Amino acid sequence: MDAIFLQILNGLDKGGAYALIALGLTLIFGTLGVVNFAHGALFMLGAFCAVTVNKVITLSAKVRDESVTFFEAYKDVPYLEMWLGDTGSLIIDWSIPISLVVAIPVMLGVGLAMERGLIRHFYKRPHADQILVTFGLAIVLQEIVKAFYGANPIPQTAPDFFSGTVNLGGLIGMDLTYPTWRLVYFIFSMGIIASVFSFLQFTTFGMVVRAGMADRETVQLLGINITKRFSVVFGLAAVVSGLAGLMYTPILPPDYHMGMDFLVLSFVVVVVGGMGSLPGAVAAGFLLGILQSLASMTEVKSIFPGIDQIIIYLIAMIVLLVRPRGLMGRKGVMED
Amino acid sequence: MAKSTITPRSDLILFLGFTAVVLLMPLWLQPLGAAYPDLMQKFAIFGLFAIGFNILFGQTGYLSFGHAAFIGVGSYATVWVFKLMTMNVIPAMIFGVLVSGVFALVIGFVCLRRTGIYFSILTLALAQMSYNLAYSVLTPITNGETGLQLTTKDPRFLDAVMETGSGIPPTNVFGIEMSAWDGLFGFYFCAAFLILGFYISIRITRSSFGSMLRGIKTNQTRMMYTGLNTKPYKLAAFVISGMYAGLAGSLMAAVDPLAGAERMQWTASGEVVLMTILGGIGTLVGPVIGAAVIKYAENIFSAIDKSVLIDLFSFMPDAIGSGLAAVTSLFVGKGWHLTLGILFMLVVIYLPGGIMEGIERIKRRFFAKDHANNDA
Amino acid sequence: MSNILEISAVNLSFGGLKALDDVNLTVKEGTVHAIIGPNGAGKSTLLNSIIGKLTIDSGSIQFNGKSMLGVQPHEINQLGISRVFQTPEIYSDLTLLENMMIPLLAHRDGAFKLNLWSRGDQQRDILDKAQHFLDDMNLWIKRDVIAGSLSRGDKRRLELAMCLSQEPKLLLLDEPTAGMARADTNNTIDLLKTIAGRGITMAIIEHDMHVVFSLAERISVLAQGHVIVEGLPEEIKGDPRVKEAYLGGAEV
């Protein structure tokens, strides 16, 4: 029983990542009508924001290592530590939260540039063209990252404060030790999801966007400049996806192709949740994350070998065959 | 009114021209530095793959993002026949194509229940699933990360009777080894299939079945209200296209008897999409040209490394030269995929009809000039 | 004259809204029957119910004595119903000749035939028929033109040629002149008259009164999902209920 609970918990952080990417995907699809195959690349770019910030603040000088007395040894000491002492170490330790501040404007910029520079010209083109051009963009982005950071994963560490584990089972009398950062990730993703939903629900801007998702033409007839708002939506989706990737770095060391790996799964999430449905994307994200986690239990795997590898795809197939619109899909969205 | 230019006669000329160009590859590729068997085999194999993909995407309008799965299945099936039965490639390839056909039938049955982007995503997901399975549970069949290889312990029941000596015998066609004629036999073997595949694709395109496929691509509503059941047509196109991919996979195994899961990855599926687009969607020769151009460019670009570039720019002042070399090196060698991605985007943005459309445009410009001259 | 299409006591509601309310309607063989009514009266709903796209809650729709319940779109055509859409549904990327070949092949070979080898454009019977039906619409001369580049009126004629090549028993037309210029509309009316003259049964959904009264031999007026009047054109013209149905909204 404890093991099952633990697996459900383990699924939450992955589910959170799926949900955040899927949220952006479906937001872009619902408002702009564009299928963005480069959305995974945004997730990856976010992760590499963390890597970059970490690289910058740990820029080091070679200093004689006094602890080694037998021969002349040198060690790397970050400038920040040399200049600021313990404060410097603290800043380095908190590099991931700090990089959040950097990533928001960067991702917003990337998103806006992408929409203005490329996606906008593809609104009227067939979906196949949109898929193809964003697919090309995804390759370009990940190859650029590969050129700068190499092909190997670059591990990132969470702040010391969040390292280790917490025991969540204390309250209900179970033994559920859980890595603290995963818990942080889950809470973070819930926070982002809540902010996106309340932004759409409670602001005038959000209201127009929702109306645009429901019926684009009518909203345009009202004389509202939808296009401008939609590029902001794209920027927003880029930020959401980027932050999701950034915060995920301590859980999964980022490499250049992590975006595509997540994208394939996120598409499945969107399809299962229902194209164009925001709650569907979130629910399906967590659902599939948890199911994947449960399927990787040894007990399950001994009955169905390899089920952990294919569970998501199996669920997607079943959902599409039984409920073609997805769990919460809207009528009329991509019906044909 | 313009008279239709497509006649059986024009198709025959196209086919003969194509055949001549393919058969003479070892000659005319010489000055391009591409006339060695390995590369020419790749042209033929990926040309076949792209022709098959085009039947589905170009003719029927269904964008599959998981077509590499059929290559993988074809390769595995072929290698298994090598291992169990005989190193003669013919039975192995027949088996490979049949297995991938059956696999395509199953995948197609599921995926074709949806259209548009749903179809693309479903094919992508199923291909990724096959790829994951090949790496994990199916290891007994696929030999996981190592890939399926031949060993001296393989039974090879049919060959065993007359086998002499030790070691792994080479793949052959009724005794003629693939590496015969300085490797050219392997190329001509693949080329024969490319030509056959091209011929079949002409026939399918011009057949009434082909008309139906184009009808499906253009207007499914009208198809249905014309009393046509579109599902079997789409499934047939999917299976044919999957069998082409399976044949390509079989040929890969025939010229180099091993099979690995990386052939099934989404990047491989993306590559064939790119070949088709680059050459010209829906055209007959376009996909083959696209495949050849990409494989040729890959061969050239990925071979260039930094030292070559520094040599290349050595006539310039050091600072500029090394700077240029650094920038260019992003796009070549291991960075070749970056070039590929950029090329891909440029084609989709500026030349959606690919190279074939480019040729058309140039032709039209020339003809337009002719007209202008005549008028003057 | 026998009844080709019989709609009796059909009800259909979406959620709480009653879209079709006890609709009874009979189309007699060889006539042109128009179904008119103000916007939102349920004309399109009725049409979609006839072709089985919508499933009715109760009642029955019979074509030639056969229930239309649960038929697949491709079976509709094989039963003998051809549909002309509001926006002409043609194969706009293909040439006119190929546009014609598809329905002709379908008519000859049925719903599915794996004809991988024979060239469609080399089959005499198909080509002759294509010429016949395109000539009928004065389109043979444009046979190698890509259909998407035709004018609206020509597209409509191509669609009609495609539909007629199926030798339909009933032609369903959904606002066949919507979005057309006056001249094109008049041409289309003449064309439809010619077709009607050959004895093909037509059911037309239309709100352009000019079109309706030029063509229809019988008219049913639909309002709020109910057939309020059915009769000959001259009877409908003077009927106060029809006026009310059309102007009712305007008087508010």
Does residue C158 surpass a pLDDT of 70? yes
Q: Give the 3-state DSSP-derived string for A24-57, with helices as H, strands as E and coil as C.
A: HHHHHHHHHCCCCCCHHHHHHHHHHHHHHHHHHH
Residue B164 is assigned to a structural domain of this protein: yes
pTM to 2 decimals?
0.86
Percent of chain C whose pLDDT exceeds 90: 2
Report pLDDT for B1: 37
User: What would the pLDDT profile of A89-132 be if each residue is shown by its tens digit?
Assistant: 777 777 888 888 888 999 999 999 999 888 888 888 888 888 88
Based on the fold, state whether residues C73 and C175 are members of the same structural domain.
Answer: yes
Does residue A284 surpass a pLDDT of 80? yes
Instruction: Give how many domains chain C has, as a whole number.
Output: 2
- Based on the number of CB atoms within 10 Å of its own CB, is C70 exposed (0-12), middle (13-18) or buried (19 or more)? exposed
Does residue A184 surpass a pLDDT of 80? yes
Cβ neighbours, 10 Å, residue B351: 16
Chain B residue numbers with beta carbons less than 8 Å from the beta carbon of C93 are: 214, 217-218
Does residue A335 surpass a pLDDT of 50? no
Domain that holds residue B89: 36-264
Q: How far apart are CA B45 and CA B291, in angstroms?
A: 9
Domain that holds residue C114: 90-167
Report pLDDT for B239: 96
Nearest to B214 by CA among B62, B11, B359: B62
Cβ neighbours, 10 Å, residue A207: 12
| Average pLDDT over all residues of chain C | 83
Based on the fold, state whether residues C2 and C70 are members of the same structural domain.
Answer: yes
**A320–B266 CB contact, under 8 Å:** no
Report pLDDT for A107: 93
- Kindly report each contact of residues B358-367 with a partner whose C-beta sits within 8 Å and lies 24 or more positions away, as own/partner: none
Based on the fold, state whether residues C182 and C76 are members of the same structural domain.
Answer: yes
Based on the fold, state whether residues C4 and C69 are members of the same structural domain.
Answer: yes
Locate the chain C residue with the closest alpha carbon to B214. Answer: C94
Residue A215 pLDDT class (50, 70, 90 cuts) = confident
Based on the fold, state whether residues C219 and C247 are members of the same structural domain.
Answer: yes
**C106–B204 CB contact, under 8 Å:** no
Neighbouring-strand partners of residue C20: C12
Residue B25 is assigned to a structural domain of this protein: no
Residue B180 is assigned to a structural domain of this protein: yes
Contact C205, C33 (CB under 8 A): no
Residue B46 is assigned to a structural domain of this protein: yes
Report pLDDT for A170: 62
Q: How far apart are CA C160 and CA C187, in angstroms?
A: 13
Single-letter amino acid code for the residue at A280: G
**C122–B8 CB contact, under 8 Å:** yes
Across A40-69, average pLDDT: 83
Neighbouring-strand partners of residue C67: C62
Exposure letters A52-86 (e unless 16+ CB within 10 A, then b)? bbbeebbeeeeeeeeeeeeeeeeeebbebbeeeee
Chain A residue numbers with beta carbons less than 8 Å from the beta carbon of B338 are: 139-140, 143-144, 147
Residue C37 pLDDT class (50, 70, 90 cuts) = confident
Across C155-181, average pLDDT: 86
Locate the chain A residue with the closest alpha carbon to B353. Answer: A129
Of the candidates C167, C187, C210, which is a domain's last residue?
A: C167
Residue C238 is assigned to a structural domain of this protein: yes
Q: What is the CATH number of the domain that holds C36?
A: 3.40.50.300
HSE of A97, CA atoms in CB hemisphere, 13 A: 14
Q: Give the 3-state DSSP-derived string for chain C, with helices as H, strands as E and coil as C.
A: CCEEEEEEEEEEEECCEEEEEEEEEEEECCCEEEEECCCCCCHHHHHHHHCCCCCCCEEEEEECCEECCCCCHHHHHHHCEEEECCCCCCCCCCEHHHHHHHHHHHHHHCCCCCCCCCEHHHCHHHHHHHHHHHHHCCCHHHCCCEHHHCCHHHHHHHHHHHHHCCCCCEEEEECCCCCCCHHHHHHHHHHHHHHHHCCCEEEEECCCHHHHHHHCCEEEEEECCEEEEEECHHHHHHCHHHHHHHHCCCCC
**B225–C89 CB contact, under 8 Å:** yes
**Which of B124, B132, B344 has its CB closest to that of A310?**
B132
**C89–B204 CB contact, under 8 Å:** no
Instruction: Give how many domains chain B has, as a whole number.
Output: 1
Report pLDDT for A216: 66
Contacts of C35 (CB under 8 A, 6+ apart): C25, C43, C46, C47, C203, C204, C205, C206, C219, C220, C222
Based on the fold, state whether residues C145 and C195 are members of the same structural domain.
Answer: no
- Candidates B122, B139, B216: best to mutate against A (most CBs of A within 10 A) is B122
Report pLDDT for B57: 93
Based on the fold, state whether residues C96 and C153 are members of the same structural domain.
Answer: yes
Given CB atoms, is B219 within the 8 Å cutoff of chain C?
yes
Residue B138 is assigned to a structural domain of this protein: yes
Given CB atoms, is C39 within the 8 Å cutoff of chain B?
no
Report pLDDT for C247: 64
Of the candidates C142, C167, C192, which is a domain's last residue?
A: C167
User: What are the DSSP E strand ranges found in chain B?
Assistant: 148-149, 172-173, 176-177, 258-259
Looking at the complex, report in whole angstroms how far the Cα of residue A123 sits from the nearest Cα belonging to chain B. Answer: 12
Report pLDDT for B77: 93
CATH 1.10.3470 holds for A2-58+107-322:
yes
Q: How far apart are CA C52 and CA A63, in angstroms?
A: 82
User: B106: which 2 tokens?
Assistant: 């199953």
Residue B295 is assigned to a structural domain of this protein: no
Looking at the complex, report in whole angstroms how far the Cα of residue B222 sits from the nearest Cα belonging to chain C. Answer: 6
Of the candidates C167, C183, C218, which is a domain's last residue?
A: C167
Given CB atoms, is C142 within the 8 Å cutoff of chain B?
yes
Based on the fold, state whether residues C31 and C104 are members of the same structural domain.
Answer: no
Residue C85 is assigned to a structural domain of this protein: no
DSSP B10-57: HHHHHHHHHHHHHHTHHHHTTTTT--SHHHHHHHHHHHHHHHHHHIII
Contact B108, B238 (CB under 8 A): yes
**Which of B207, B223, B225 has its CB closest to that of C120?**
B207
Q: How far apart are CA A328 and CA A282, in angstroms?
A: 11
Based on the fold, state whether residues C57 and C115 are members of the same structural domain.
Answer: no
| Average pLDDT over all residues of chain A | 82
Contacts of C72 (CB under 8 A, 6+ apart): B224, B229, C52
Residue C220 is assigned to a structural domain of this protein: yes
Q: Which residues of chain B, if any, have pLDDT below 50?
A: 1-3, 372-376
Q: Compute the C-alpha angle C6/C9/C12, nearest 5°.
A: 110
ipTM of the complex: 0.84
Residue C122 is assigned to a structural domain of this protein: yes
Range ranked top by mean pLDDT from A206-215, B39-48, C203-212 = B39-48
